[in-house]
């Protein structure tokens, strides 16, 4: 018998009213009997967890009655109730005032009130009612606190989810985020996501057969996630129909919540194929399927399907026993949370899809523009694409620099896309340049060469006719043979001179560096005259032909060169008319500066080094390199790579090209990096 029990069995001393003392246990027995018989406690349960304690329970709440002696000398009897005192589901009423009590500490330990040792049954009942009311009030307050904390947590998570969704524009990455966050807020072990596609637009067929038999919308399975099982999944399409759970959710525009996929409710049009579970060794039980509805068009654009809500999100479902122990149906709150995520996901997905469509449309426009440029000059076919690839690759290398003037350079994915567009369209202004100037291989256009050739042929025939006429006159006069021979010799010499002049013209027509002697010959030929068929005196070569043939380097006259260089101005003006948006706003300036030079001698604006965008400086290097190394063109031969690098170095010495960017281009061997991709 414990100390308290011995106390309960012994006399406790005479009472002030003179009544004989009673053992504590007998007193608690009598009180318990009274409480059990009290009709006011019909909804409560009275029990005896210990001979010296009485417990009155209401639902999950409890009030403990104990003599004050238990507090003074036997508090270990309260240990079984410590946790309940702490979480405010139980409170203590003491009968009699304890000898040693710190009221604040006692209240913290669950003390509700102290009644007189000889309190009446009504007093005990009133103290108990107040204790239950206090417990209920605490419970409501704690429930509100837990709900508020949970609400704040969920709100914070939903905000984070919304932020993650709205900042991702890549559709595939966004779908992965949507599925991951949906599983997170609901505690789902696995899930899948589908997007709605038009069969005619995709050119694919669903499970129902060829596209000709199913031209309606399709559900494309995009990806799946599973915390417990790893397996390979691939995209497939299926018709939207009530035969599948995802199809039914899409058609009905309402969520479908299934407690057990192996026990589909009777009368449901859809079913669940267990063969997939058998294939991967998994057990699908609870399932929540939610349509993604476009907020703008009120159309279903996708479906989220979550599988197996777990009691503990950290647990893995390896066995059927794990499923039975951990998996529970998706509750109403899970459905609400998924609905909120789905609403945000639908808006983000629609925006991402629209952005993707716009991007594809714009890339199609860029591709068509490049093809339009290169169709006018087939000799430069592929140049724009190669320049874009070289420039973007150079930017990636520059981004990795840890020293030098470009150690702080950084190019985001949008920066690289902007640079790619600017590089692809850097020559678009050539569409405003005459085609014959673009493809001019020699100093004279072919029609000019034919005119000169015809002119020389006419002169040759005229010489022959003149000599023949003179020979006839000589024969009529009876001139000696020596005079006739002299005429033949004159014809040969004049034909030789004519042929030599034509050969000089043809040699000068080639787009090579013109020697000083050749230039003098052209000047001399330009002064020679002849009489045309009408007897008018004309120059052997016309003024514009003499100008063209006198070009010292290349094939373009000053006016033609000016026309060619004007393509950059056309490029800038054309690109400036396109609403690029904030992300790509610098495209016109980058493309329009790729012919500027560091020393201010470039065109069209003669910008100095600090005024030229770094992207344009990189493009200049790529443009020159590709022009040098590209396949043979009519006006030049392709040069070896190392010779092209030497020419770039000359550009550095002439203060045309950025020395650090040329160094990076050379040392990283950017052209080889592209070849390895």
Give the domain-ending residue among 529, 554, 579: 554
DSSP one-letter string for 389-452:
HHHHHHHHHHHT--SSTTTT----HHHHHHHHHHHHTTTGGGGGS-HHHHT--SSS-HHHHHHH
541 and 587 assigned to the same domain: no
In a domain, 359, yes or no: no
198 and 332 assigned to the same domain: yes
616 and 516 assigned to the same domain: no
* Residue 585 burial class via C-beta count within 10 angstroms: exposed 0-12, middle 13-18, buried 19 and up: exposed
In a domain, 672, yes or no: yes
Distance of alpha carbon 127 from alpha carbon 22, whole angstroms: 23
Strand, helix or coil for residue 540:
coil
494 and 450 assigned to the same domain: yes
The total domain count for the chain is 4
Q: Give the residue among 288, 286, 289, 340 at the shortest CA–CA distance from 317.
A: 286
Give the domain-ending residue among 554, 587, 607: 554
In a domain, 520, yes or no: yes
470 and 432 assigned to the same domain: no
Q: Residue 177 has what pLDDT?
A: 86
Distance of alpha carbon 22 from alpha carbon 534, whole angstroms: 157
In a domain, 241, yes or no: yes
Give me the chain's average pLDDT, please: 85
In a domain, 164, yes or no: no
In a domain, 156, yes or no: no
175 and 312 assigned to the same domain: yes
Q: Which of the residues in the chain have pLDDT under 50?
A: 1-21, 205-214
Neighbours of 179 (CB within 10 A): 24
In a domain, 203, yes or no: yes
266 and 178 assigned to the same domain: yes
Alpha helices in 253-302 (DSSP H): 275-280
Token representation of residue 230: 């790893």
**Which domain CATH number covers 263?**
3.30.450.40
224 and 197 assigned to the same domain: yes
204 and 346 assigned to the same domain: yes
497 and 402 assigned to the same domain: no
194 and 324 assigned to the same domain: yes
End-to-end CA distance of the chain: 88
Strand, helix or coil for residue 293:
strand
**Which domain CATH number covers 56?**
3.40.50
Range of the structural domain that residue 207 is part of: 169-350
Strand, helix or coil for residue 256:
strand
64 DSSP β-pair partners: 55, 92
Distances (CA, A) of 31 to 104, 133, 647, 672: 28, 22, 110, 96
* Residue 90 burial class via C-beta count within 10 angstroms: exposed 0-12, middle 13-18, buried 19 and up: buried
**Which domain CATH number covers 572?**
1.10.3210.10
Sheet of 90-95, strands arranged across:
45-50, 53-58, 61-67, 90-95, 111-115
In a domain, 21, yes or no: yes
22 and 121 assigned to the same domain: yes
Q: Residue 141 has what pLDDT?
A: 74
Q: Give the residue among 44, 62, 61 at the shortest CA–CA distance from 53.
A: 62
> Taking a C-beta distance cutoff of 8 angstroms, is the pair 523, 547 a contact?
no
């Amino acid at each position: 018998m414990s100390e308290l029990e011995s106390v309960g069995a012994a006399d406790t001393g005479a009472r002030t009213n003179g009544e004989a003392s009673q053992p504590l246990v007998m007193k608690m027995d009598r009180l318990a009997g009274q409480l059990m018989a009290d009709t006011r406690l019909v909804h409560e349960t009275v029990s005896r967890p210990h001979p010296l304690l009485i417990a009155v329970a209401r639902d999950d709440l409890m009030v403990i009655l104990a003599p004050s002696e238990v507090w003074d000398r036997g508090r270990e009897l309260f240990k079984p109730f410590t946790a309940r005192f702490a979480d405010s589901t139980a409170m203590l009423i003491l009968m009699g005032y304890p000898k040693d009590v710190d009221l604040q500490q006692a209240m913290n330990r669950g003390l509700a009130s102290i009644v007189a040792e000889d309190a009446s049954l009504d007093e005990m009942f009133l103290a108990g009612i107040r204790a239950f009311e206090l417990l209920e009030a605490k419970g409501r307050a704690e429930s509100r606190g837990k709900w508020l904390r949970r609400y704040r947590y969920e709100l914070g998570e939903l905000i984070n989810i919304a932020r993650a969704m709205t900042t991702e524009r890549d559709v595939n990455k966004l779908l992965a985020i949507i599925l991951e966050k949906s599983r997170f807020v609901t505690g789902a072990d696995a899930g899948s996501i589908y997007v709605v596609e038009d069969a005619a637009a995709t050119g694919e067929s669903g499970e129902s057969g060829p596209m000709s038999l199913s031209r309606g919308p399709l559900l494309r399975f995009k990806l799946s996630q599973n915390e417990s099982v790893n397996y390979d999944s691939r995209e497939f399409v299926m018709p939207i129909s009530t035969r599948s759970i995802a199809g039914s959710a899409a058609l009905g525009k309402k969520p479908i919540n299934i407690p057990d996929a192996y026990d589909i409710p009777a009368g449901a049009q859809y079913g669940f194929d267990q063969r997939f579970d058998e294939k991967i060794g998994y057990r699908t039980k609870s399932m929540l399927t939610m349509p993604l509805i476009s907020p703008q068009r009120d159309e279903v654009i996708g479906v989220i399907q979550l599988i197996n809500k777990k009691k503990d999100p950290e647990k893995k479902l390896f066995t059927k026993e794990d499923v039975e122990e951990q998996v529970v149906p998706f509750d109403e709150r899970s459905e609400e949370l998924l609905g909120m995520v789905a609403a945000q996901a639908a808006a983000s997905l629609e925006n991402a899809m629209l952005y993707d469509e716009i991007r594809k449309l714009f890339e199609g426009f860029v591709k068509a523009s490049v093809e339009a440029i290169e169709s006018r000059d087939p000799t430069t076919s592929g140049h724009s694409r190669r320049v874009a690839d070289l420039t973007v690759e150079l930017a990636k290398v520059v981004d990795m620099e840890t020293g030098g003037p470009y150690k702080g350079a950084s190019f985001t994915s949008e920066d690289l896309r902007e640079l790619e567009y600017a590089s692809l369209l850097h020559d678009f202004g050539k569409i405003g340049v005459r085609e014959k100037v673009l493809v001019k291989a020699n100093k004279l256009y072919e029609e000019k060469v034919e005119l000169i050739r015809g002119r020389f042929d006419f002169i040759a025939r005229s010489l022959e006719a003149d000599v023949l006429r003179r020979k006839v006159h000589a024969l009529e006069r009876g001139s000696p043979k020596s005079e006739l021979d002299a005429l033949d010799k004159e014809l040969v010499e004049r034909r030789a001179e004519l042929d030599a002049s034509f050969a000089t013209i043809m040699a000068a027509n080639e787009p090579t560096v013109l020697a000083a002697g050749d230039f003098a010959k052209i000047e001399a030929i330009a002064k020679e005259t002849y009489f045309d068929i009408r007897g008018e005196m004309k120059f052997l070569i016309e003024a514009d032909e003499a100008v063209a043939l006198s070009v010292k380097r290349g094939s373009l006259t000053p006016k033609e060169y000016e026309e060619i260089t004007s393509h950059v101005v056309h490029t800038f003006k054309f690109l400036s008319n396109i609403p690029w948006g904030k992300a790509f706003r610098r495209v016109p300036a980058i493309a329009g500066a790729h012919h500027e030079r560091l020393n201010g001698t470039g065109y069209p604006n003669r910008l100095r080094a600090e005024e030229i965008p770094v992207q344009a400086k990189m493009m200049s290097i790529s443009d020159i390199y590709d022009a040098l190394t590209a396949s043979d063109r009519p006006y030049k031969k392709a040069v070896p790579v190392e010779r092209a690098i030497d020419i770039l170095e000359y550009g550095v010495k002439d203060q045309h090209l950025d020395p650090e960017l040329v160094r990076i281009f050379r040392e990283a061997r950017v052209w080889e990096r592209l070849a390895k991709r």
